[in-house]
Structure 1
Amino acid sequence: MEILNSILTWVMKKRIHQIELFMKYPHDVQGELFHKLIQQGKHTYFGKKYGFSDIRHLSQFQQRVPISTYEDLFPYIDRLLKGEQNVLWPTEIKWFAKSSGTTNARSKFIPVSSEALEDCHFKGGKDMISIYVNNYPETRVFTGKGLVVGGSHQINQFDTSRNSFYGDVSAVLVKNMPWWAQAARVPSMDIALLDNWEEKIEKMARATADEHVTNISGVPTWTLVLLQRILEITGKDDITEVWPDLEVFVHGAVSFTPYRDVFQQLIPSSGMHYLETYNASEGFFGIQDRTDSYEMLLMLDYGIFYEFIPMDEWDKEDPTVLTLDQVETGKNYAVVITTNAGLWRYKIGDTVKFTSTDPYRIKISGRTKHFINAFGEEVIIENAEEAITEACSRTNAVIDNFTAAPRYLETGKKGGHEWIIEFKCRPSDQESFISVLDETLRKINSDYDAKRQADLALERPVIHFVNEGTFYNWMKKRGKLGGQNKVPRLSNDREYVEDILKMINA
């Protein structure tokens, strides 16, 4: 295994030169990619509709092709789901990444082409390993197995030929992995793709507790559930006693900031590393490439052409749209992608903030529909997570999950924000926790601070400190356990908060 580890480490590091090329020539790489995508899509139904054949410049593309949401593209995706081909992309679409989204209950079916699998998702996975072994050349990650905490898949019920499938993006990737990657991961396919999440956690825990696991990939929330069950089964005090050679957790989908402390408690090892990735149903976008920062390198040669909408233009019918060379650091942008799976100028709903433009590095700042702005305060997820992290630090608390929503103005009453927070370790002083959270929001968000002046429009937040398991039970009640399903952090309406409070009171 040591020889194999050395060989694979050497092989993976060879990709670094190509990564350095797009870091050095980002606009050339994106320009070439744009023209390639137009050429590939020109004979599709969508390409013919918008005249791709005579598009020579980006400005023509931007003038002809509108910015699209999922709802805008769904008529085309619906045809693909029913088995029609060459609608959005020329090669056969047999797989769809199913996502419930984070702002509504409607399922989304994102087409996944063979090019998207090979040149985007799998390439991203290999680059992730390449960057890791380049940063930690003494790694022994290849001496053991990788534990993948993924979702499930099923036959596409919309296609009468039954020749296509959909599932969580993690399940789509697991199902299509090459044999050598399958051999290097646990648990077995039949367990990894189970649909019943509670059954899956139990079987995963029992099947992997005795394996030689050196790395884990998954969403933090569900990975925590699995690790805690493994400790219950084994009777061990922490995960280092179960997997002494575990050295890296690759995470994504939700911010890791609120979970960092609890993972360090479960895995108290100085040799444990954490690597953030930005891998969504629509594509693989970013990888944390430095050991001294949590920001991610924007991956520019994965078959994805990027555009960005400034925060104050998000909801406009005809927004200003910027290309990579026009973005600035420190500002929030909605991400618009054109991909090698036929998503043309698709607004994915995520927002990012550039921390560097040479090379291009980003942090995920939230969702375009996942914020609180009932009083002009414009609180985004990044604000909420920073405030909660500070409040936890100052009161020795460890968070598990949270959601928040506005309390709207009523006659004789002022408005405010209402939070529901579940902890692994409750605050030493709940009143202090509320004060620190409120003070931090005021410090980092001037709009929130202005509305809080003398309780002008917003009163001090109301926080419900709820029992462990509350969010798990709520997600279970909604049929949203596991996979890509995530607790909605912020909402501009009270649907989620009211539903959770109703469940608690019942």
Structure 2
Amino acid sequence: MPLPIINSIASWILKKRIHQIELFMKYPNEVQEELLFSLLKTSENTFIGRQYDFNSIKNYQTFSERVPVSTYEDLEPMIEQTRKGMQNIFWPTSIKWFAKSSGTTNAKSKFIPVSSEALENCHYKASKDLLSLYLNNNEDSQLFVGKSLRLGGSKELYEDNNTFFGDLSAILIDNMPIWAEFSSTPSNRVSLMGDWEVKLMAIVQETIAEDVTSLAGVPSWMLVLLNKVLEETGKNNLLEVWPNAEVYFHGGVSFDPYREQYKKLFPKSDFNYYEIYNASEGFFAIQDLNNSNELLLMLDYGIFYEFIPMDTYGTPEEKAIRLAEVELFKNYAIVITTNSGLWRYLIGDTVRFTSLNPYRIRVSGRTKHYINVFGEELIVENTDQALSKTCLELGCQIVDYTVAPIFMDGKQKGAHEWMIEFSNPPMDITHFTTILDQTLQSLNSDYEAKRYNNMTLNPLVINVARPNLFYDWLKEHDKLGGQHKIPRLSNERTYLEYLKRLQLIEQS
């Protein structure tokens, strides 16, 4: 069958979904309430369903009063039981897939359950919806004349007690339907390679001869790949390699630091960028309009949403509310109940609503300070522990510190830049930097992956602060005493740049 005909048929099939999307946009709260009671009914005979007597829950208020908001640490014992082969604990159908992710407070990695229902009715459904929305907005698209270059995680899948774990992207690729594999590049074999460096070259070799019309992946990782494509081909931009490329689907980290670099890679005024918001726990939102910075909250993926206002988060007044109660432009922590058995689960992300009809959001950050510019998900606990262990090993002591990203610039890789004030400095700052970097990698598997062979992140950059630098900053900002402090981690450079200027002024 000629490719233009295939493109027309695929477009027609995908656009049929638009009517269902319009339905939940029109009746969002009714769709969400119906979904909640469907999840409760489905799970009433599980261990957790019997524990909280799901069968007797007849309204949202009873649900919110009876079932507590939970973190990964709360659910970890049950998840570990499931990983060891026990079933029907928090979801009735067998769960054999676990998406491995880092950043928990007591472990290097966490294992998020992924049910067959979540694969089919959430993740794969979202992939089709992304295409549906894009095609609905771009009538002349020739997306299916060529292939989609997908860039997933670089870890293989591992078997443990007859269950499997790995990056979510690896799980999705391993289980993807035939239609998706047919329209994608590179091959599944290459996509699931574990060695990122080998995989990178294999992707380049497999894709440069393809007619790539779309790309999908995390901006920082994709940038490394695309620069390698230019290096290998000797071309000036990616349109010389893939002249029919028309859209880049991105998510995982903020696109803002990379936007201008991508415009140089794809120098075409009508090249499209579409953002998605997904995680190991589920697929949540999709950009539904061209040239927009808002994401449509997807309400029929087997996920029931609640939101905790950040102005009461972590206080005695903390309370989760339903979608129907949210307000515009307020920051909320997201709480989800899913078709993988996560009940009132706090995922750690914060969002604000930019529209209530329909419900559109922007991801505003995390519930705690962190750095995730390159997908490394570095949290304060990681840096606190790494610094403590390094100082203990080398016999030094610190007063305070802060960390910020060095953003990628062209082919220049990113890095983390530290400002550390020592009360007892190390004898050799270069050796200190090496040990600190190695310790961070041992504590955070995502950071370790980004640092592998300096592929995405260069080694740490350490600035040794002059005495009283942090004190002087706090004094200038009228923040002496109490619990005031400079954030240990930040996704931008405001605090670090101010400290560096303050350091230079004193030294001059």
Q: TM-score, normalised by structure 2?
A: 0.76
Q: Residue 296 of structure 1 corresponds to which residue in structure 2?
A: 295
2:113 corresponds to which of 77, 87, 111: 111
Equivalence map 1:390-429=2 (5 Å):
419-424=404-409
Equivalent of residue 35 in structure 1, options 31, 34, 37: 37
Looking at structure 2, the residues matched to 364 and 102 of structure 1 have their Cα atoms a distance apart, in angstroms, of 20
How far apart are residue 153 of structure 1 and its match? Answer: 3.3
* Aligned-partner SS, 1:316: coil
Per the alignment, residue 351 of structure 2 pairs with: 352
1:201 is aligned to 200
Q: Aligned with 2:108: secondary structure?
A: coil
- 1:477, distance to aligned residue in structure 2 (A): 10
**Distance verdict in 2 for CA 1:330–1:306, change over 3 Å:** same
- RMSD after superposition: 3.4
| Aligned positions of 1:77-92 closer than 5 A | 77-92=79-94
> What secondary structure is seen at the aligned counterpart in 2 of 1:354?
strand
Q: Which amino acid counterpart does residue 493 of structure 1 have in structure 2?
A: R
Pick the aligned partner of 1:480 from 449, 458, 466: 449
Aligned residues: 418
Mapped contact 1:356–1:362 kept (Cα < 8 A): yes
Question: What's 2:7 paired with?
Answer: 5
1:156 aligns with 2:159: yes
Q: Distance in 2 between matches of 1:100 and 1:139?
A: 38
CA distance in 1, matches of 2:106, 2:52: 30
- Please say if 1:263 is aligned against 2:232: no
Separation in structure 2 between the aligned mates of residue 305 and residue 369 of structure 1, nearest angstrom: 23
* In structure 2, C-alpha distance between the alignment counterparts of 1:313 and 1:182, rounded to whole Å: 45
- Name the SS for the 1:365 alignment partner: strand
What are the equivalent positions in structure 2 for 1:72-151 lying under 5 Å apart? 72-101=74-103, 106-151=108-153
Deviation at 1:271, TM superposition (A): 3.0
2:258 counterpart of 1:273: no
Change (3 A) 1:482 1:179: farther
In 2, distance between residues paired with 1:183 and 1:276?
23
Q: Is the contact made by 1:403 and 1:420 (CA closer than 8 Å) also made in structure 2? A: no
**1:243 and 2:255 aligned:** no
Distance 2:400 2:302 in 1: 46
AA at the equivalent of 1:330: F
SS of the equivalent of 1:89 reads: coil
Report the counterpart of residue 452 of structure 1 in structure 2. none
What is the identity, as a one-letter code, of the residue corresponding to 1:355? T
* Partner Cα distance (2:100, 2:378) in 1: 23
Q: Tell me how far 1:64 sits from its aligned partner.
A: 1.1
How far 1:479 sits from its partner (Å)?
Answer: 2.5
1:167 positional shift: 1.1
* Cα distance in 2, alignment partners of residues 302 and 193 from structure 1: 26
User: 1:314 and 1:211 mapped to 2: Cα distance?
Assistant: 49
How many angstroms does 1:155 deviate by?
Answer: 2.6
- Match runs of 1:153-192 below 5 Å: 153-157=156-160, 159=161, 163-192=162-191
Aligned match of 1:335: 334
* Alpha-carbon separation, structure 1, partners of 2:408 and 2:41: 52
1:217, CA displacement in angstroms?
A: 0.8
Distance 2:302 2:447 in 1: 35
Q: Would you say the 8 A contact 1:402–1:422 is kept in 2?
A: no
Amino acid in the other structure paired with 1:360: Y
Unaligned runs of 5+ in 2: 385-398, 413-436, 461-485, 493-508
Name the CA distance, whole Å, in 2 between partners of 1:208 and 1:104.
40
Can you list the C-alpha shifts for 1:98-144, whole angstroms capped at 9, x where unaligned?
A: 11138887211111111101111011011000000000010000001
